[in-house]
Amino acid sequence: MWDMDIYPDVDMSEPGAPETVADRGRGLRVLRRLLDAQPETAQDRRLRASLDELLVETPDGVTVRGAAQVRQSFLSWNV
């Protein structure tokens, strides 16, 4: 499309807070999903042993320590 001089419109949203969950159990499920760790495996046991280092409690809930703000954009083309 660039070769035809058709360029996208880009709309950026304001950065949002990292994902938070209600408790550590849900935080564990988020980390399992992100790391593709199946319950009751060696990888899962290492993950559970590291939860104190990986999760942090905030006024909004539990989040992954050092998680970046969520940034979203919307691309559209008018052709």
Per-residue burial over 2-14, b if 16 or more Cβ lie within 10 Å, else e, is eeeeeeeeeeeee
What integer pLDDT is reported at residue 62 of this predicted model?
97
With cut-offs at 50, 70 and 90, classify the pLDDT of residue 79: confident
What integer pLDDT is reported at residue 30 of this predicted model?
92
What integer pLDDT is reported at residue 56 of this predicted model?
96
With cut-offs at 50, 70 and 90, classify the pLDDT of residue 78: confident
Contact partners, residue 41, CB within 8 Å, separation at least 6: none
Q: What is the mean pLDDT of the chain?
A: 93
Question: How many CB atoms sit inside 10 A of residue 41's CB?
Answer: 11
Q: How large is the average pLDDT for residues 43-60?
A: 96
So where are the chain's domains? 18-67
Alpha-helical regions (H) of the chain: 24-35, 42-49, 51-54
Lowest-pLDDT choice from 1-15, 16-30, 47-61: 1-15
